Amino acid sequence: MTATESIKIEKPPKGASIPAKKGIKKAILGIFKKALETESLDALIIPVKVPETESYAWVLLKDTALLENADPLPPVMTIQGGKVLSDLTKHGKINKNIAAVLRPCETRAAVELFKLKQLHFENISLISIDCPGAIPLSEYLAEPEKSEKSFGNVLDKWDGDDSVREICKTCYRFSLPTLTNAPASDLHIGLSGNTKDDVVLIPVTSKGEKILEKLDLKPESSLQKWETKIKEIKKIKSQRRKEFNHDFKTNISGPEKFTAVFDGCINCHNCQSVCPICYCQQCYFDSATTKLSSEDYFRRAKERGALRFPLDTMLFHLGRMSHMALSCVSCGACEDGLPHVHFRISGLQPRRRADPASIQLYPGNK
């Protein structure tokens, strides 16, 4: 049984092509509208632009009017979608038939959370979408209009325009996974490689096939063009990731460099609270255990010669690394959540995840 509890169908040979004369997003939303109207789906969970503001929020909706402001691929990743699904289903399966529209790194987070028993997949269909990256949150908030525009360019160019987040420039898992046996989603929306006049819906599991069936869509179009383009982009991004991994390793090895990388940390723990995988109810580092008596501080200061405050600022990062190493999905939410300081955290984990030879104990290490 696969993570999504559906039967994986063999490598999808064909997809259902949808005309997108009025833009790809409109075309996708049109499909969702039909799915809700025909009750093929009871509800949908999707990012929606909050009226009168520049932010995007996840909304569980049934009312098709709300789809007006929905966006299957918003320019920013506000809250990691895996976290949202976990919130929704942590305490048990849902009885409605819903679909969630997620970026690939969000579907991977959902799968990891499922393995950690933090999420139920029953009755949920995961719909993933080709993702060109996301604009850094801070940049988007500073200049939303400009960011919307540059995101449009990113969608046109597809090979990692400069304006997307660093992690996205090196994200080679931005589409359907082809290297793993476990499907990360049920239905995939292929964007790249198609002319801007169509999008292609690719059934990945039997659940995905059923959705298409209910919508009367037949997967009859060839995926060749899409696959070729995906391969091309993947190659570029994998190469970038390789280079990044190499540089990163050189820049963090040894106690001095490690300290230097994290020196900007202001101990806000934002990286932890936005991470989909950091799911403990109470983190040791937020607990009272970390607060010592002044005598204790003095004793420690004496042992070391001096004592850095707050205690454990660096240990926190090492702790997070050793907790996350096997499950980090390289989504960059941690980095995006940083306040004013800038250091690469999401890069830490994928370096090892990208190197399965180093950790072979985990079947989910994809």
Q: Which backbone phi and psi does 27 adopt, to 5 degrees?
A: -60, -45
x/- map, 276-295, another protein, by CB under 8 A: --------x-----------
Residue that is written with structure tokens 């979408």 in the block? 129
Check binding of 235 to another protein (CB under 8 A): no
Q: Is 310 exposed, middle or buried (0-12, 13-18, 19+ CB in 10 A)?
A: exposed
Q: How far is the CB of 324 from ligand SF4 (least distance, A)?
A: 5
Q: How far is the CB of 185 from ligand SF4 (least distance, A)?
A: 12
Please tell me the count of residues contacting another protein according to CB under 8 A.
31
Residues in CB range of 83: below 8 A, 6 or more apart: 109, 113, 274, 276
Sign, Cα dihedral of 131, 357, 359, 346: negative
Q: How far is the CB of 344 from ligand SF4 (least distance, A)?
A: 10
> Which of another protein, ligand SF4, none has residue 307 at its interface (CB below 5 to 8 Å by kind)?
another protein
> Which one of residues 21, 145, 295, 305 is an interface residue with another protein (CB under 8 A)?
305
> Which of ligand SF4, another protein, none has residue 239 at its interface (CB below 5 to 8 Å by kind)?
none
x/- map, 39-58, another protein, by CB under 8 A: --------------------
> Which one of residues 65, 179, 288, 361 is an interface residue with another protein (CB under 8 A)?
361
Residue 125 is classified by DSSP as E
> Which one of residues 146, 315, 341, 356 is an interface residue with another protein (CB under 8 A)?
315
Nearer to another protein, 122 or 243 (CB): 243
> Which of another protein, ligand SF4, none has residue 116 at its interface (CB below 5 to 8 Å by kind)?
none
Measured distance between the N- and C-terminal CA atoms of the chain, rounded to whole angstroms? 17
And the tokens for 110? 């959902």
Q: How far is the CB of 330 from another protein (least distance, A)?
A: 15
Check binding of 258 to another protein (CB under 8 A): yes
Q: 207, 4 in Cβ contact below 8 A?
A: yes
Q: Which residues bind ligand SF4 (CB under 6 A)?
A: 77, 103-105, 131, 133-134, 167-168, 171, 174, 275-277, 324, 328-334, 346, 349
> Which one of residues 179, 220, 306, 340 is an interface residue with another protein (CB under 8 A)?
306
Q: How far is the CB of 311 from another protein (least distance, A)?
A: 10
Classify each residue of 82-94 as buried b or exposed e, where b means 16 or more C-beta atoms within 10 Å of its C-beta: bbbbbebbeeeeb
According to DSSP, the residues that pair with 46 across neighbouring strands are: 59
How far is residue 151's CA from residue 162's CA, in Å, rounded to a whole number?
10
> Which one of residues 13, 19, 23, 254 is an interface residue with another protein (CB under 8 A)?
254
> Which of another protein, ligand SF4, none has residue 100 at its interface (CB below 5 to 8 Å by kind)?
none
How far is residue 64's CA from residue 200's CA, in Å, rounded to a whole number?
22
Q: Is 269 left (phi over 0), alpha (psi -120 to 50) or beta?
A: left
Q: How far is CA 70 from CA 59, 178, 179, in A?
A: 9, 29, 31
Residues forming contacts to another protein in the complex (CB under 8 A) are 249, 252-255, 258-259, 263, 284, 303-308, 312, 314-315, 318-319, 321-323, 325-326, 351-352, 358-359, 361-362
